[in-house]
Structure 1
Amino acid sequence: MDVFDLSSQEEFSPMKPLTKRPRKCFNQASDTLNQSSDKQSSGTLTVETSSSCDVKSDKPEVNLTERVDDIKRTSVSTEDANFVTDKTNIQGTNGAEVNSGDNCDRDCRKPVYIYDQELVRRCDAMPKIINRASMVHSLIEAYGLISLMQVVPPRRASDEEMMGFHAKDYIDFLALLSRQTDEEKFDEESDQYGLTYDCPINHHVYAYAALTSGASLRAAECLLEGRSIVAINWCGGWHHAKRDTASGFCYVNDIVLSILKLREKYDRVLYVDLDVHHGDGVEDAFCASSKVMTVSVHKHSPGFFPGSGGLNDGGVGKGRGHTVNIPLQDGMRDKEFVPLVCRVLRKVQEVFRPQAVVCQCGADGLSGDPMDSFNLTHTAYSCCVQFILQWTLPTLILGGGGYHSANTARCWTYLTAVICGRKPPTDIPDHKFFMAYGPDYELPISPGNRRNTNSRENLQRIYNSIIESLNKLTVS
């Protein structure tokens, strides 16, 4: 089939509805994204440049009265900023747990949001993303979304926790730097550990790495504890860091650490990477594992960092077939990105049957980003995230790249609203960073006009190759 034929009614389409019941997208407080009882699905994946994306799952009707591992949710009706909450019970399609039983606290229906002032202050100080964390949190706060989430403070990861993946000598060196004032004294050792141009050294880097990785670990712990089915850490998502080296602005790989934490309970964990750069650090960590599947959709072009993530990179040993790469070229647009990614994810979910998901939402594929690669808008990210969330699996949402701070804040605020079941107003509310959103002062991100060098024939070839590989996969 033509993966980009959005009017297709073939059975393969993950958007083909099997029931007439209105679609329920996660939030334990959500039923808001352009649903109405009299609207029937057309069996298509709708890609809009406005504020909605109607993504549907190819799953049979679930008997709500017979399943005991149900998830309690709250349905919210939204009129811009006004909310009315009405309780209802909806079955999780994969039996994911959220404080099950009648004693479930009301707050357990809300997404977890990792935040405190020190975390934002540490992230704001990093050279490549100055003040980005403050802009993201301030916009989320300005839209009134904080009250719809459980705000959980991060903690610092211990050396032992970071050494669950990273080499002891590397973590020891980061700690050593924190006790020094003469950074040039360690130039030679810094080069050895990748602490150069992309990852400049400073005596704050150890505290930053410990806190950001601890924040993602705390988010994963909230999922393990059943505090919610979704946890958000926009200060995480640093996917390039290797076992013994920093790389690509990433000092400690909080993603690998959080996946290892989720593996303490969940046998199979799916990692989805939406960053414009290949998630090489995470892929390298799990390429030989059959228990973690990595899916990275990224730009793959000569000279573009990190240069890995080709179509034929499919894992090694027991992990063969558990690494999926979707390599793209400049100019990718929403209308090709969404159906390609969602249909690959649909097949991944079918064959791998994940029990938990980690999704990195690096925003450097947005139009206007200094990476100057894709033409994506917030809608592309929203559609992919909604598609994942409707599986009702424990899901960890992380940040990552995104070097146009205002657009990154726009995108992640919109995703936060989607997770909370809210359709945010178009106009940016007045707040500390209001002037950064000029000249239009609106939340939606317009698509870019970079020439699209992704031919449909090549994208279809990529899709066919991935599906052929996944069809051969046997999950233990």
Structure 2
Amino acid sequence: MPPAKDRVSYFYDGDVGSVYYGPNHPMKPHRLCMTHSLVLAYGLHNKMEIYRPRKAYPAELAQFHSTDYIDFLHRITPEMQDQYAKELLMYNMGEDCPVFDNLFEFCQIYAGGTIADAAHRLNHGLCDIAINWAGGLHHAKKCEASGFCYVNDLVLGILELLKYFPRVLYIDIDIHHGDGVEEAFYLTDRVMTVSFHKFGDYFFPGTGDVKDVGEREGKYYAVNVPLKDGIDDSSFIRLFRVVISKVVEFYQPGAVVLQCGADSLAGDRLGCFNLSIQGHAECVNFVKKLGIPLLVTGGGGYTKENVARCWTVETGVLLDTELPNEIPSNDYIKYFKPDYTLKTNHGLNLDNLNTKAYLSAIKMQVLENLRHIQHAPGVQMHEVPPDTYFPDFDEEDFNPDERLDQHTQDKSVQRDEEFYDGDNDNDHDMDS
């Protein structure tokens, strides 16, 4: 009897791709619309459950972030920046993390997809793999924005998973160190963080040395794999397989969160690695084959057509579906010219500065650190916290005589290609 197929849940809201960080800013959420369009064009929606995530409530975001920071994100608008100059400085918002229209709603959508939907469905065994390409904003800190990230959906998603799973493994293949997630769990053995990233030469965020291993109860539960410019598929995949195999053997996680930042691809606007889409996707494939409940998110990625290609290929990988290289007609087909192919090799021309000796030394240091950890650290028995319930509105504040403005009414209209949790996807024609 063939093994059962993984049940895959996929979360998408078109509003998340319509926000605009501003002129010349490298972060383009529009890449999410491009990715979703490709997913539909390849017919992948027919092989998984697709949901429109609900927006995370402020109180949910404050389960990690400080209440005053979340309140500020809720209140601030582009027109109010002059009067809140001091607060903007305090919360590290400005050039890298600008204030733009619908900023808070953007945070609610991408965080909601990770915490309120993906983690929740994994907790209750409703799927084996949950995908939220809008998530993965790994730099945000408890009290401040950082690196284009405002709310750390990954930390919030992991906190949700910890209600049901004694140990959670976080893996990060973005070119930038997953500093916000590592920092949040630096003192605990309930979460092991593993980050493969560029390190040195004042590269943002400047953290993630192999010697940074966690502290107190979390000592040796932070794993950093610092890399140099130009690492290629064979070097990266070989190192990834060895490290992740050992981590899983020692740690035995109940769930895995995989951040798939695509700025580690060759030719990325802000990157300096030499990974192909196939190489990047092989890491996803390796983690999928572990057979552990898996939450997959996006992350960085600043050459948007390659981001869309990459995450579409990886959606196929998670569905055990090989995709034809010729890109089918879709709303964004013009972005993929001149060759209109999925697995592009554009930009594979950087010298690999990671020598065999350097990679061997890093591998040996990481494996030595792992030998210090307690094998599958135990967790004291505790009552599972109830799923957080937040009403849609405060009935005391609701005035039935007050008409909704047009913007609010528009937001309540369900798009043809997006479904809320609970809808029967099989009753909908996604191509309508």
TM range (shorter): 0.7 to 0.9
For 2:248, the equivalent position in structure 1 comes to 349
| Separation in structure 2 between the aligned mates of residue 243 and residue 130 of structure 1, nearest angstrom | 23
Which residue, out of 233, 245, 249, partners 1:334? Answer: 233
Gaps of 5+ in 1: 1-86, 91-107
**AA of the residue aligned to 1:463:** K
Separation in 2 of the partners of 1:390 and 1:366?
Answer: 22
Query: Is the 2:19–2:30 contact (alpha carbons within 8 Å) kept by the matching residues of 1?
Result: no
What pairs with 1:304-315 in structure 2 (closer than 5 Å)?
304-315=203-214
Correspondence for 1:474 among 346, 349, 374: 374
1:175 to 70, 74, 83: 74
Match in the other structure for 2:86: 188
Instruction: Write the distance in 2 (CA, Å) between the matches of 1:257 and 1:203.
Output: 24
TM-score w.r.t. the length of structure 2 is 0.83
What pairs up with 1:197-346 in 2 under 5 angstroms?
Answer: 197-217=95-115, 218-346=117-245
Q: Distance in 2 between matches of 1:365 and 1:144?
A: 27
Superposed displacement of residue 391, structure 1: 1.5
Quick one: distance in 1 between partners of 2:239 and 2:344? 21
**1:166 and 1:239 mapped to 2: Cα distance?**
13
For the pair 1:442 / 2:341, whether they are aligned, the reply is yes
The residue that corresponds to 1:114 in the other structure is 11
Deviations 1:73-113 (A, max 9, x none): xxxxxxxxxxxxxx8445xxxxxxxxxxxxxxxxx953100
Q: Does 1:133 align with 2:133?
A: no
Match of 1:99 in 2: none
- Say whether the 8 Å CA contact 1:190–1:201 is kept in structure 2: no
Describe the superposition over 1:171-218 as per-residue Cα deviations: whole angstroms up to 9, x where unpaired. Answer: 01111115x733222122101101111100124211111111111111
Residue of structure 2 in register with 1:425 after alignment: 324
Amino acid corresponding to residue 202 of structure 2 in structure 1: G
Query: 2: distance between equivalents of 1:459 and 1:266?
Result: 33
Once residues 365 and 272 of structure 1 are traced to their aligned partners in structure 2, the CA distance between those partners, rounded to angstroms, is: 14
1:400 aligned to 281, 299, 308, which one?
299
- Post-superposition offset of 1:119: 3.4
Counterpart for residue 53 of structure 1: none
Shift of residue 472, structure 1, vs aligned partner = 1.8
Checking the alignment, whether the CA contact within 8 Å between 1:275 and 1:360 is kept in structure 2 is yes
Matched, 1:464 2:364: yes
> Does the aligned pair in 2 maintain the 1:143–1:429 contact within 8 Å?
yes
| SS across alignment from 2:171 | strand
Is 1:363 the counterpart of 2:258 in the alignment?
A: no
Query: Any conservation in 1 of the 2:265–2:280 contact (CA below 8 Å)?
Result: no
Question: In the aligned structure 2, how far is the partner of 1:133 from the partner of 1:417?
Answer: 16
Shift of 1:152: 1.4
Q: Aligned equivalents of 1:123 and 1:253: distance in 2?
A: 19
- TM-superposed CA distance for 1:445, in Å, is 2.5
Does structure 2 retain, via aligned residues, the 8 Å contact 1:223–1:231? yes
Letter matched to residue 456 of structure 1:
K
Asked whether the equivalents of residues 300 and 310 of structure 1 are also in contact (C-alpha less than 8 Å), the reply is yes
Distance change (3 Å), C-alpha of 1:214 and 1:160:
same
The CA deviation at 1:364 is: 0.2
Task: Answer yes or no: is the 8 Å Cα contact 2:233–2:275 preserved in 1.
Answer: yes
The amino acid of 1:259's aligned partner reads: I
User: How far off its partner does 1:125 sit?
Assistant: 8.2
- Bigger mean CA offset, 248-257 vs 193-202: 193-202
Partners in 1 of 2:218 and 2:45 — Cα distance? 40
Note the alpha carbon deviations across 1:38-72, whole angstroms, 9 max, x for none. xxxxxxxxxxxxxxxxxxxxxxxxxxxxxxxxxxx
How far off is 1:411 after superposition? 0.5
CA contact (8 A) 1:133 1:235 kept: yes
The question of whether the paired residues in 1 share the 8 Å contact of 2:21 and 2:100 is answered with no
Contact residue 428 and residue 442 of structure 1 kept, 8 A: yes
1:162–1:257: 8 Å Cα contact kept in structure 2?
A: yes
Partner Cα separation in structure 2 for residue 325 and residue 266 of structure 1 = 23
Q: CA offset at residue 135 of structure 1?
A: 0.7
**Pairs aligned (count):** 372
Distance, in Å, in 2 between the alignment partners of 1:172 and 1:314 is 33
The 3 A distance-change label for structure 1 pair 122 and 372 is closer
Aligned to 1:145: 44
Q: Secondary structure at the match of 2:196?
A: strand
- 1:116 offset after TM fit, Å? 2.7
Structure 2, unpaired ranges of 5+: 378-432
State the Cα RMSD in Å: 1.7
Question: Aligned equivalents of 2:40 and 2:85: distance in 1?
Answer: 41
Q: Distance in 2 between matches of 1:125 and 1:235?
A: 18
2:6, 2:319 within 8 Å by CA — same for their partners in 1? Answer: no
1:95-114 alignment, distance < 5 Å: 109-114=6-11
Counterpart residue identity of residue 327, structure 1: P
